[in-house]
Each structure stands twice: as structure tokens, then as C-alpha cells.
Structure 1
Amino acid sequence: MLAPTSPNPSLPAGLNLLPVVGKCLEGPAFHRYVAALQRALTESIPPDHTDVLHLQHLTFGGTPALIRALPEHPRIALVHGTDLLFAETHHDQHKVLTESVRLADAIVVPTPAMADRLLRIAPTADRTKIVHIPWGIPDRLLAHPPHGSTRPPGSPFRLLYAGRLTPEKGAENMLLALTAIPGVELSIAAPQGQFRTLTRAVRQSGVKIRYLGWLRRPQLWRTFTEHDLLVVPSTTLEAMGLVALEAQACGLPVLYQPVPGLADTLAASGTATDFTRPAAVARDVDRLRTTPGLLAALRHAGRSNAARYPLSATAKALTELGHRIS
């Protein structure tokens, strides 16, 4: 997942890459991968230099490998949406999640909806371990968002999709819904390989689309200012919806599917719609671009909502939690 793009990548001070191959999800190969990760971690991390383990997933290989490499250290598990999705569809990942929940000293969820979903998957989990700490967006973005660009009158209404294009993200629903809306342009910022999988759906939709590539965060923030609306058509759940919050911090209103997690984070600061119903999306987009003052009101509400989630507050809460369990 984090393969370097050059033979000798430049890394921040204190970070190293582990040359462990074989990442996978199921079967004997998965267990061999976890064992290889454990050996690499044991050789690389001095136990006496570590206070608390931050387990950045309840599933996948890193969490069981880290627990086995440092078995005596207190553990904070941080729940991400992919953990729950993969635990529901892969037997070995469900086992890893159940064991990680049992062994964690604290389980951090970014939204109440994530706690509800976790407890449905692992009903025997100790509820007293669950702590609600929202994820955050960079303080520097909140303090100094990029300046908005001016566009000539009569320009097309520009929509932006930014993120992965895996099935649960709802891109095909989005394209089908936008087919019925004249006078809009859609920009897509996503990994190139995933964008290629949409070629047929893009062609069939007839929507005017610009592919922007897979943007680094500062590029994405500038891109927000060049559009009128961010669309978030996720079909299943979102842990938090950080891209939507970053868009709001940059003054870009959000049109979203009110799935668990995202509905908690955005609520009335964005516009909820149903991307599975093209008529509903057409109605909401038309209302947003024609109602005087509506987009301006959403920009104001979005900035106020994003300001509730500074990354420094997340760091402070996690640090305090680490002190409590260590």
C-alpha cells in the first residue's frame, strides 16, 4: 500500500519502511504475511522506546503483527470504515477484528454511527472501552484556507468528486443521477487505475467529465475553490468524511448521501440527497444553483461546521487517552 516510488525514498526523520511483501486478506497467505510483519516489527522497534500502541485498524495485517511484536504495551485501537466493511465480507478479517477488540485497552470511534456498526459486527465487545474522539482536519487549513477563484458569469455549474472509487463510494450511482441534469460539469480526483474502471459508465452517462488525477492535499484544497459543489455519493458508511470537512473549510458546499458517519458529521451543514434517485438529485442540484443566497448560506454553515474539528483537538484527546490507559 505504501510502496515507495523510488529505490531510495526520502522519509521524515524517525520513520522507516519495512520491506515486507505479501499483503493480502484471506487464507494461509494472510497468516504468513502477519508473521513476516511481526518479525520485521520485532527487529525494528525497541520495546522500551514505546509507551502506547496506536492500532490504526481493527483488521488487516498490521494490527495483529504489532500486538504480537509488543504484547505488553497498552493499546488504543482506532476504528476506520474499511475495518467494518472488510470484517463483514472476509472471514479472516472478522476474526482479526474480534480479537483486536478483545485485546485493545481503548477503542476510538470518530462518530457514534461507527460504534453502532462495530457493535453489530462484534456484539460481545466491551462497550466501556469505546471512546468517541472525532478525527480532525489540519489547523493550518482552518486558519488559512485557500482563496476562492472568480469565475465569469454563465460558467457551467461545476461539481467535484474527490476520493477513492471503490464500489461502496457510489460513483456509478452518481454518474447515473447526473445524466438527467443539463449544464453541469463533473471533475473527478481519484486514483488513475480506479478511474479507468469507470470508463464505460462515464461514456454511457454523457456527463461532461474532467479527470484531475490523484491529488495531494494542498492541490485538493486549491481545487475545492474552483468548484461549486462537492458530491459525496457513498452507499454504505463513512467513518467521518474528512474530505467533505476539508471542502467545507475551503468554502465548498457539500451534497451528500446521508449514510452513517457522514450524516453525523455534516447534518444540516450540507445538503442531503438520494443518489439512487436521479430525479431527487436533479431537483436538489437545481435548487442549489438557482435559489438566491442558498450556496452562500451553505458556505457559511460549512465553514462553521469544519471549525468544530481541528486536528489539534484530536491529537490532544488521543494523548490524554494514552496517559489514562498507560
Structure 2
Amino acid sequence: MPRPASRPPRVAMLSVHTSPLHQPGTGDAGGMNVYMVQLARALATKGAEIDVFTRCRGEGLPARVPLADQVTVHHLHAGPCGPLAKEALPGTLPEFSRDLLRVAEHCRSYDVVHSHYWLSGQVGRAVAGHWRIPLVHTMHTLGRVKNASLAPGDSAEPAARILGEHQVVDAADRLIANTADEAAALHDLYGAETTRTDIVRPGVDTETFSPGAGRQAARRRLGLPPDAFIPLFVGRIQPLKGPDVLIRAIAELLGLAPELRTRLLVPVIGGLSGSGAHAPGLPDLCRHLGVDDVVRTEPAVRQRTLADWYRAADVLVVPSRSESFGLVAVEAQACGTPVLAARVGGLPTAVQDGRTGLLVDGHRPADYARNLLALARAPRRAHAMGRAGVRHAAGMAWETAAEATLATYERAAWTARRGWAGAAACPCPGGIPPLEVLGSRRFRERLPK
């Protein structure tokens, strides 16, 4: 039953397809990984006990890994103990659920399940029903939103995901959206009740991400030219994040101001998305457009090194085609760097247009080029935006996000007390609600036409 209000909660946090231990900017790891780590730590400082359950990927890690005081990551066996493409993960969900229930018997009883991303939500609706505790879910990204803003040649999210998301929306006691825009998408595209949706804005780690000793000190540490104009890209290399938009914008920029070539440096920091089997071909695009001499690709880096890249840059460019929030934009602002971003998803919340950065309608490279040139020619304005960004980011604390999340857990428990109607509504073998295997005939018959 829901916990007494006097005791901090014990939380089973689920992340099937990626682990909070993974390096953001590689594979399937990104802002969601940062979100889980920072939220779990902030919840723990308020007394909560967090067990994060993720799939074993054969990385030589033990079954249990302490992440912070009162935060432990558990590796479960579901499918082969190794990397799997996202397309293969739905078939591992029943095994993940069974191993979760087995391992949890030796951990502790839980007060709430908090699942992240739709695959975890599928597991969450099964185990929360078995344990008779509330399910809280955070989507992070939405298949219908992504399909509405695909890059040319990019693959649409499958119908199985769309139906899976609808099922999670229907099953969750509470939904957490990062922004009002995401909450509206949940309501308009998935029929989520606004009374069951809480808006909890993510935070930023201002101890790691801060102006530090300034731009020139960061450039010296990274070995970068002191007088360079540096537009920076940080994120997974995938069409959704729009690195191709930046590369094309750089070619347009050099057409507008060829004199910039001698001092232009464009670092692209991040790894290939997913397995990396189908690279988007950025090096070929750079060569084709004649900008390979100014673009510098770098692998994903740890947070403290990333903070130096933010400090060293003149502007962070976030040309995403879809973005639930855009943590990199807030991290850069916390370091004193303005942001040039697409006006999509949560980025208008993360960036204050005209004050801490500039927002662009659409993804036309020429529009980004014109804004980059304006920032290059007005360094004082860019510096003022950077100072305003530090103040803006200071108002986004993970402590605040943790307090709001605890309130969501309380509301979920209140909903449960009013009359939880999960597994009790359908007799299931062993008391575990069935997880339809995504791809089975029964599941395909329910896919949206």
C-alpha cells in the first residue's frame, strides 16, 4: 500500500534500454541518462532510497553498482547479455520483468515505480500491478512527435512503439512531462488526462557546469586557439539532433563571410546513435561542402571536460528536429555560453530567446548561418547573453526537480488510495499482469491503422 507520508519513499526506477552508468552522447545514452543520475541523487539527499534497474549489456560490471548514497544500479538478465538494437528490445521485456521481480525479492519493498521511456513503462505497468503500488512514468521522447519532424531519409518510429506509448499513458497513475509543450503533446496526441500529468522541469548541476575561470582558461586547457570563433555541437550523431543542419549552416556562413575561415573552428562532440551501424555520413558531408578543414569531430567526453568545451565555445548550436527539453542548452548557459537553437519542443523553455540565446524557426541552414554571423560580429551581445544564461540556469536546480517529483509520488499514492484497479481487475498466472510480446499476432492486431 502507499507509504506513510512521514517516511521518504523507496523507489524502483526502471531504464530498460540504457543505463545511468553509460556515457552520455554515445549509443542510446543522452539527456535521459543525465536526468536519471541527477534526479536519483537529488531524491536521495531528501531521504529517498532508489534502486535503478537496467538490462545487462555484458560490460563486465557487477550485478549491483552503487551510484551514490542510497542509489544502486541493478543489472538484470533479459535476452543476451550484450548490446541489442532497440528494435529487438521489446521481445526481452517479459524476461526483464521476471528478473526484476526475482531480484527485488532480495532488495526491499517499494512504494512507487518510476519508469523512463516507453519500453520501461511497459515493464512498469506489469510490476507495479504485481506489487500493487503506483506507477509514475516519464516519457522523455514521444514517437508521434518524432514522426512529425523527421529528417529527410530518417526512419519513422514504428507503430508498435506508438501503441506501446498509448498503453503506458493509460496505465500510469501519474505522468511527468518536462515542459508544458510536452504535457500538451501527451494530451493532444495520446489522450493523457491533464489532471494526471505533472510538469517537472529538469535541473542542471551548477557545481560541474559553471563559468569557472572563463573562456580563455578553458581554451588553454583544451589546446584551442585563443582568437577562434567557435560554434559548438554536443549530442549524439543522429538526424534527429540535426548535426547536418549545422554543417550546412557553416558552409553558408563561409559564403557570407569567407574571411571567417582563418579563425573558424566547429567542434562536433558526440558518438554515433544506437549501434552505429548506419553512420549519418557527416565526414562525407563536410568534404562535399568544403568545410572539413574547419569541422573537428570529437568523441563524447565526461561531464567536467564537457564543461570546458562549453566554456571555450562562443555559442552552442542545438538544431534538433525534436527535443523534449534540451539539457545541453541549459548546461551551456550555466557555463556562460549563449545558445542558438531550433524553436522546437522544450528548447523555448530552456533558452530565453533574445536574452540567453537565439531561437530559429525551422531548420533552414541559411537562417542559422545569419544568426551565427550576427554573433560573430557582435561579441559584446553574445557575452551579455552568456551572463544572462548563467542567471537563467541558476534557477534550474535538481533539488527543485526532486521536490516536485516527490510531490508527484505523493499524488500517485493518493490516486492509488482512491481505488487502484490494476492486476486485481484481471486474474493472471502467478499474479503478474501479462506483457504482450511486441510483435506477436495479438499485439499486431491492435496496432493503429
- TM class by shorter chain equals 0.7 to 0.9
Which amino acid letter does the alignment assign opposite residue 189 of structure 2? I
Kept in 2: contact 1:38–1:68 (CA 8 A): yes
Provide the residue aligned with 1:262 in structure 2.
347
- Cα distance between partner residues in 2 of 1:116 and 1:324: 20
Aligned to 1:187, what secondary structure does the other structure show?
Answer: strand
- Cα distance between partner residues in 1 of 2:78 and 2:335: 38
- Cα distance between partner residues in 2 of 1:321 and 1:76: 8
Shift in Å, 1:230: 0.5
Provide the residue aligned with 1:104 in structure 2.
172
- Residues 41-190 of structure 1: pairs in structure 2 closer than 5 A: 41-46=100-105, 49-57=109-117, 59-60=118-119, 62-71=120-129, 72-82=132-142, 84-85=144-145, 89-123=157-191, 125-141=192-208, 145-150=211-216, 155-182=227-254, 183=260, 184-190=264-270
Matched, 1:36 2:95: yes
- Cα distance between partner residues in 2 of 1:93 and 1:271: 33
Aligned to 2:207, what secondary structure does the other structure show?
Answer: helix
Which amino acid letter does the alignment assign opposite residue 113 of structure 2? L
Shift in Å, 1:110: 0.8
Which amino acid letter does the alignment assign opposite residue 179 of structure 1? A
Kept in 2: contact 1:274–1:281 (CA 8 A): no
1:31 to 1:145, Cα distance in 2 relative to 1, 3 A: same
Kept in 1: contact 2:128–2:134 (CA 8 A): no
1:49 to 1:185, Cα distance in 2 relative to 1, 3 A: same
* Structure 1: stretches of 5+ with no match in the other structure: none
Aligned residues: 319
- Cα distance between partner residues in 2 of 1:222 and 1:177: 24
Rg comparison, structure with higher value: 2
Which amino acid letter does the alignment assign opposite residue 214 of structure 2? G
Shift in Å, 1:99: 1.1
- Residues 156-235 of structure 1: pairs in structure 2 closer than 5 A: 156-182=228-254, 183=260, 184-192=264-272, 193=276, 197-207=281-291, 208-235=294-321
Matched, 1:310 2:397: yes
Any idea what the Cα deviations from partners look like across 1:249-286, whole Å, max 9, x if unmatched?
Answer: 00111111111211222132211235733332222112
Provide the residue aligned with 2:375 in structure 1.
288
Bigger shift: residues 309-318 or 67-76: 67-76
| TM-score normalized with structure 1 length | 0.88
Shift in Å, 1:18: 1.1
Bigger shift: residues 12-21 or 161-170: 12-21
1:157 to 1:325, Cα distance in 2 relative to 1, 3 A: same
Shift in Å, 1:114: 0.8
| TM-score normalized with structure 2 length | 0.65
Provide the residue aligned with 2:327 in structure 1.
242
1:67 to 1:36, Cα distance in 2 relative to 1, 3 A: same
Aligned to 2:401, what secondary structure does the other structure show?
Answer: helix
Bigger shift: residues 47-56 or 187-196: 187-196
Provide the residue aligned with 2:422 in structure 1.
none
Kept in 2: contact 1:24–1:30 (CA 8 A): yes
Kept in 2: contact 1:111–1:264 (CA 8 A): yes
Aligned to 2:230, what secondary structure does the other structure show?
Answer: strand
1:4 to 1:98, Cα distance in 2 relative to 1, 3 A: closer
Kept in 1: contact 2:269–2:297 (CA 8 A): yes
Which amino acid letter does the alignment assign opposite residue 147 of structure 1? A
User: Aligned residues: percent identity?
Assistant: 25
- Cα distance between partner residues in 2 of 1:240 and 1:12: 28
- Cα distance between partner residues in 2 of 1:277 and 1:105: 41
- Cα distance between partner residues in 2 of 1:196 and 1:56: 27
- Cα distance between partner residues in 1 of 2:225 and 2:268: 23
Root mean square deviation, CA, Å:
2.6
Aligned to 1:179, what secondary structure does the other structure show?
Answer: helix
Aligned to 2:352, what secondary structure does the other structure show?
Answer: helix
Shift in Å, 1:294: 0.3
Which amino acid letter does the alignment assign opposite residue 253 of structure 2? I
1:174 to 1:86, Cα distance in 2 relative to 1, 3 A: closer
1:129 to 1:20, Cα distance in 2 relative to 1, 3 A: same
- Cα distance between partner residues in 2 of 1:298 and 1:11: 41
Bigger shift: residues 89-98 or 39-48: 39-48
Any idea what the Cα deviations from partners look like across 1:221-260, whole Å, max 9, x if unmatched?
Answer: 111111111000112x211111110000001111111112
Which amino acid letter does the alignment assign opposite residue 60 of structure 2? P
1:80 to 1:159, Cα distance in 2 relative to 1, 3 A: same
- Cα distance between partner residues in 1 of 2:225 and 2:247: 26
1:265 to 1:197, Cα distance in 2 relative to 1, 3 A: same
- Cα distance between partner residues in 2 of 1:169 and 1:289: 23
1:36 to 1:180, Cα distance in 2 relative to 1, 3 A: same
Provide the residue aligned with 2:75 in structure 1.
17
Bigger shift: residues 275-284 or 265-274: 275-284
Shift in Å, 1:161: 0.2
- Cα distance between partner residues in 1 of 2:92 and 2:225: 56
